[in-house]
Amino acid sequence: MQLNFVLIRQLRTEKGWTQQHLADICAVSLRTIQRVEVQGIASLETSKALAAAFEVDRELLVGEVGLPVAEVAAKKPPPFWVLCVTFVAGTLFGAFLLSLLH
């Protein structure tokens, strides 16, 4: 799986962690972290461990290489209330359409 290695390196250095410290947190080898930070190649399990270590959604680590942290942070999902309103509106609209069919 291809990860944004620039972002991963940036997140690690912002926390003041060494590669070895991140490897220990993720329960992977130092070589794995080195490979991720140079090539962006990681398994699904490693990407999940990195996301957990950085306390971010895994999807934020997958994507465009070189995307600044500010832009990645801007890609956060909508607030929960927006999802609820959208769900209710869709449900009501669906019920309305079904009533037209009967």
User: Domain of 53?
Assistant: 5-76
Q: Is 41 part of any domain?
A: yes
Question: Does some domain include residue 12?
Answer: yes
- Residue 91, in any domain of the structure: no
Look at phi and psi of residue 68 and say left if phi exceeds 0, alpha if psi is from -120 to 50, else beta.
beta
Q: What is the pLDDT along the chain (102 residues), one digit of tens a residue?
A: 899 999 999 999 999 999 999 999 999 999 999 999 999 999 999 999 999 999 999 989 987 555 555 555 555 667 788 888 888 988 898 888 888 887
pLDDT at 42: 93
84 within a domain of the structure (yes/no): no
For residue 84, the model assigns a pLDDT of: 85
pLDDT for the residue numbered 97: 84
CA-closest candidate to residue 43, choices 56, 27, 54, 55: 27
Q: Is residue 57 part of a domain?
A: yes
Helix (H, G, I), strand (E, B) or coil at 62: coil
pLDDT value of residue 98: 86
Residue 29 counted as domain residue: yes
CATH assignment of the domain containing 64: 1.10.260.40
Report the DSSP beta bridge partners of residue 41.
2
Which among 77, 18, 78 is positioned nearest to 9, based on CA atoms?
Answer: 18
Total count of domains within the chain: 1
User: How far, CA to CA in Å, does 87 sit from each of 76, 83, 91?
Assistant: 19, 6, 6
